[in-house]
């Protein structure tokens, strides 16, 4: 299957994949992180980030010539957890690259050392969601990868 994104006008996608939540540092006392924004020449607007890992990843996307478009916090995915209340999870980025399917990314600071069942459940549900839309889902660690890893 061919994926030619060059003739798309992106208006529908810009609306559909607009950020689903505001960037904030509400839990920064529990999980220190840096929030901010920068002007994206690819997206022709401000792109907000909630961590240095996200910022680094978005910089990679800006430099990657194969990236046509990317959306920050593009979808909400309902997570049902047995014995707990359901919640919406917002993956970090949806990326459209030339000649490939879209990729839905979750950006993490570093790999979990211990098994985290809740994170595994979220990742499994997100992977199923991505597959149902014809996308691929990946958890990435920008501080640990080279630029070439992005060309999956």
pLDDT at 21: 77
What pLDDT, in 10s, does the model give residues 111-127?
776 678 888 889 999 99
Delineate the domains of the chain, giving CATH numbers in brackets: 11-150 (3.40.1350.10)
pLDDT at 59: 93
Neighbours of 88 (CB within 10 A): 11
By the 8 A CB rule, do 142 and 55 touch?
no
Residue segments in the chain with a per-residue pLDDT below the cut of 70: 1-2, 23-33, 82, 113-114, 145-152
Three-class SS state of 52: helix
pTM of the model: 0.85
Q: What tokens were used for 51?
A: 């961590």
By the 8 A CB rule, do 19 and 73 touch?
yes
């Amino acid at each position: 299957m061919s994926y030619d994104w060059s003739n798309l006008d992106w208006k529908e996608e810009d609306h559909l994949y607009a950020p689903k939540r505001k960037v904030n540092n509400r839990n920064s006392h529990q999980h220190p992180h840096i929030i901010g924004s920068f002007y994206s020449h690819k997206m022709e607007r401000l792109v907000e980030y909630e961590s240095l890992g996200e910022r680094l990843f978005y910089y990679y996307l800006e430099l990657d010539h194969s990236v046509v478009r990317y959306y920050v916090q593009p979808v909400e995915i309902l997570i049902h957890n047995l014995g707990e209340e359901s919640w919406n999870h917002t993956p970090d980025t949806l990326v459209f690259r030339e000649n490939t399917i879209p990729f839905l990314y979750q950006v993490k600071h570093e790999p979990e050392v211990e098994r985290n069942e809740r994170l595994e459940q979220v990742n499994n549900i997100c992977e199923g969601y991505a597959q149902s839309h014809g996308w691929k889902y990946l958890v990435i660690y920008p501080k640990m990868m080279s630029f070439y890893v992005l060309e999956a």
